[in-house]
Structure 1
Amino acid sequence: MKVRPMLAAMAIASLFGCATDPAPTEQLKLTEQAVAQASAVGATEDEPDMAAAQAKLAQAKADMTHQSYKDARMQAEQAELDARLAEARVLTQKSDEQLNQVNGRLERLRKQLGTSQ
């Protein structure tokens, strides 16, 4: 009777022992693309989210060289999210600036037409 629980425990332990994290090469590619996209729209290292993305991407690459694939994946995923956040913030800021410009033009037109509200 005591043999079955012991065999079951050994089988479970061997399953966990064999399960290793694969190298997150695809995630690293996605992250690099997200960082490049954020840079393309104007995100710079001056923005905290972009700086965090680049630091986490560098850490993910370092983890890859040490074959710490789980850590590399987590860092890469976080870096991707940080880069996307930096991109969204830059795009939002640009949209706000464009909206302010349009509102300014509308106000000038209203004044020229004498229908200032």
Structure 2
Amino acid sequence: MNRFLLVLLALGLTACASDPAPNEQLRLTEQALAQAKALGVDGEQSESLRLAEDKFTRAQAALQDGDNKEARLLAEQAELDARLAEAEHLNGKGREQLVELNHRISRLRQQLGAM
């Protein structure tokens, strides 16, 4: 029985040790956050960006604690949240432009109707 527990413990430790540090994923996440901010996404107005920043911070902490699997998972989620924040921002900008174009079209129609 003790031998079985030792084998399980050894396997568990090997599984934890075999998960490499997610340095590349952290770099990708950092780039996604920077890109969202460069587009003008505001962390105070975007819940998705706030979530991304929080998960990125937690991923860095997990990496410091040696929990590479958790760090990778959080970094992946943070990257997706940052990309969602970017998409939401661009979608909002697109809607604003559409409203402005519709106003211009209405003004042109009124001007043409007055002729």
TM-score by length of 2: 0.84
Q: Which residue of 1 aligns with 2:43?
A: 45
1:8-27 maps to which residues of 2 (within 5 A)? 17-19=13-15, 20-27=18-25
Report the AA paired with residue 81 of structure 2.
Answer: D
Q: Which runs of 5+ in 1 are unaligned?
A: 1-9
Q: Give the number of the structure whose alpha-carbon radius of gyration is greater.
A: 1
Q: CA deviation at 1:42?
A: 1.4
Show structure 1 runs of 4+ deviating over 2 A: 12-19
In 1: Cα distance, 2:47 partner to 2:39 partner: 16
- 1:34-91 C-alpha deviation (Å, 9 max, x unpaired): 1111111111112110000000000001111111100000100000010000000000
Q: CA deviation at 1:15?
A: 6.1
Q: How many residues align?
A: 107
In 1: Cα distance, 2:91 partner to 2:38 partner: 15
Q: CA deviation at 1:18?
A: 2.8
In 1: Cα distance, 2:87 partner to 2:58 partner: 23
- 1:13-43 C-alpha deviation (Å, 9 max, x unpaired): 8666534210000000000011111111111
Report the AA paired with residue 31 of structure 1.
Answer: T
**Secondary structure in 2 aligned to 1:114?**
helix
In 2: Cα distance, 1:70 partner to 1:13 partner: 18
Q: Which residue of 1 aligns with 2:34?
A: 36
User: Are the structure 2 counterparts of residues 16 and 65 from structure 1 closer, same or farther at C-alpha, using a change threshold of 3 Å?
Assistant: closer
In 2: Cα distance, 1:30 partner to 1:42 partner: 19
In 2: Cα distance, 1:17 partner to 1:57 partner: 25
TM-score by length of 1: 0.83
Q: Give the fraction of aligned pairs with identical amino acids, expressed as a percent.
A: 50
Deviates more, 1:31-40 or 1:17-26: 17-26
